[in-house]
């Protein structure tokens, strides 16, 4: 598979592996802060936006960090700098990680901007209250009218989902001819109403019936009112692209949204079916090292080899 794919449809066949690894940042945590790497990136992105940063610049930095994080997990630019690497070395490590997972997968222009993006920086402005609420608001998971919900543990939160959709949309934007800054912004903002409205999924939306649109619109406007006026004016029109997939922005967003929802379900299915053999054999948990033979002998004697 080469990067020069002919259509968005071909790109969809190329990206699930990369998106799956990026999405796993919803489950990566580190000792220095609360929340997953995904939730923290969601907060950081909103902090940058409310401080006046350009959405395209935020999209580039956060998308590059997410792609590098697919392999580096919690080892981000800040950790590398704190460990003594200079700016050039930090960028070299991040680019190495980006190339390992994204080269030959994303659009060539997308890869070029990922490699050129500056490292993310900690936010200096407190984000609006809805950001923290979305990071506390669990997703409903799979629900259908008239049927019990499928409960999976632990549920992702709305901040993590919105972050993933924003990143995936920015990664797909070139293929659709969409503006990546707008695509990223729409992904971040598409569940503003759930800062107040607990998520009951499609089943709950069906029961709200004729009240649903009014509830969503009012709660979305309440969240937008907490943003600086110029930022709210940029977010409001992109939210209209949720209505259909007939525009480049709408097609990009809905592709990113459905990929994240289904990849999240794949994660829970894989977790439920995980085997020790996968860890020891497929992933080489006891990996090649000077003490590998000893470790395998210990496991064999203990009856723990598959």
Query: CA–CA distance from 244 to each of 122, 253, 255, 263, 268 (Å)?
Result: 35, 10, 11, 21, 28
pLDDT at 271: 86
Query: CA–CA distance from 65 to each of 60, 70, 78, 173, 209 (Å)?
Result: 9, 9, 11, 17, 40
pLDDT at 136: 97
Q: Is residue 198 located within the same domain as residue 302?
A: no
Contacts 24+ apart (CB under 8 A), 270-278: 275/306, 276/304, 276/306, 277/306
Maximal CA-CA distance, the chain: 67
φ and ψ at residue 138, rounded to 5 degrees:
-70, 150
Q: Is the peptide bond before 154 cis (omega within 30 degrees of 0)?
A: yes
Q: Is residue 267 located within the same domain as residue 234?
A: yes
Residue 2 lies in a domain: no
Q: Is residue 170 located within the same domain as residue 22?
A: yes
Q: Walk along the chain (306 residues) and give the pLDDT tens digit of each residue.
A: 334 444 678 889 999 999 999 999 999 999 999 999 999 999 999 999 999 999 999 999 999 999 999 999 999 999 999 999 999 999 999 999 999 999 999 999 999 999 999 999 887 899 999 999 999 999 998 888 888 888 888 889 999 999 999 999 999 999 999 999 999 999 999 999 999 999 999 999 999 999 999 999 999 999 999 999 999 999 999 999 999 999 999 999 999 999 999 999 999 888 888 788 888 888 788 888 888 888 888 888 878 888
How far apart, in whole angstroms, are the C-alpha atoms of residue 25 and residue 144? 28
Residue with tokens 């080269």: 103
What is the extent of the structural domain holding 302?
277-306
Residue 142 lies in a domain: no
pLDDT at 6: 46
Q: Is residue 255 located within the same domain as residue 185?
A: yes
Q: Is residue 270 located within the same domain as residue 293?
A: no
Residue 143 lies in a domain: no
Q: Is residue 61 located within the same domain as residue 113?
A: yes
pLDDT at 4: 40
Q: Is residue 196 located within the same domain as residue 299?
A: no
Residue with tokens 């006046």: 52
Query: CA–CA distance from 276 to each of 98, 99, 161, 279, 298 (Å)?
Result: 29, 30, 29, 5, 16
Q: Using alpha carbons, select from 18, 80, 69, 72 the residue that is nearest to residue 39.
A: 69
For residue 129, what is the enclosing H or E element?
helix 129-136
**Quick check: helix, strand or coil at residue 157?**
strand
């Amino acid at each position: 598979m080469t990067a020069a794919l002919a259509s968005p449809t071909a790109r969809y066949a190329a990206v699930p592996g990369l998106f799956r690894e990026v999405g796993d940042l919803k489950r990566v945590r580190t000792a220095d802060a609360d929340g997953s790497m995904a939730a923290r990136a969601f907060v950081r992105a909103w902090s940058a936006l409310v401080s006046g940063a350009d959405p395209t610049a935020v999209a580039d930095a956060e998308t590059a960090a997410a792609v590098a994080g697919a392999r580096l997990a919690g080892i981000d630019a800040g950790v590398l700098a704190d460990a003594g690497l200079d700016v050039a070395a930090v960028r070299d490590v991040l680019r190495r990680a980006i190339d390992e997972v994204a080269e030959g997968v994303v659009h060539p222009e997308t890869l070029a901007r990922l490699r050129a993006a500056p490292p993310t920086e900690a936010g200096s402005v407190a984000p609006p209250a809805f950001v923290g609420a979305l990071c506390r608001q669990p997703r409903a998971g799979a629900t259908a009218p008239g049927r019990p919900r499928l409960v999976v543990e632990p549920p992702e939160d709305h901040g993590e989902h919105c972050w993933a959709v924003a990143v995936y949309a920015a990664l797909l934007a070139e293929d659709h001819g969409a503006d990546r800054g707008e695509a990223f912004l729409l992904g971040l903002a598409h569940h503003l109403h759930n800062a107040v409205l607990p998520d009951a999924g499609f089943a709950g939306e069906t029961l709200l019936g004729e009240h649903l649109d009014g509830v969503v619109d009012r709660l979305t406007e309440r969240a937008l009112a907490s943003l600086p006026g110029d930022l709210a004016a940029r977010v409001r029109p992109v939210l209209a692209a949720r209505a259909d997939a007939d525009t480049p922005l709408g097609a990009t967003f809905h592709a990113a949204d459905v990929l994240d929802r289904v990849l999240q379900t794949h994660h829970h299915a894989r977790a439920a079916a995980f085997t020790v053999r996968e860890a020891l054999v497929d992933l080489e948990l006891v990996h090649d090292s000077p003490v590998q033979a000893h470790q395998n002998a210990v496991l064999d004697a203990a009856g723990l080899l598959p």
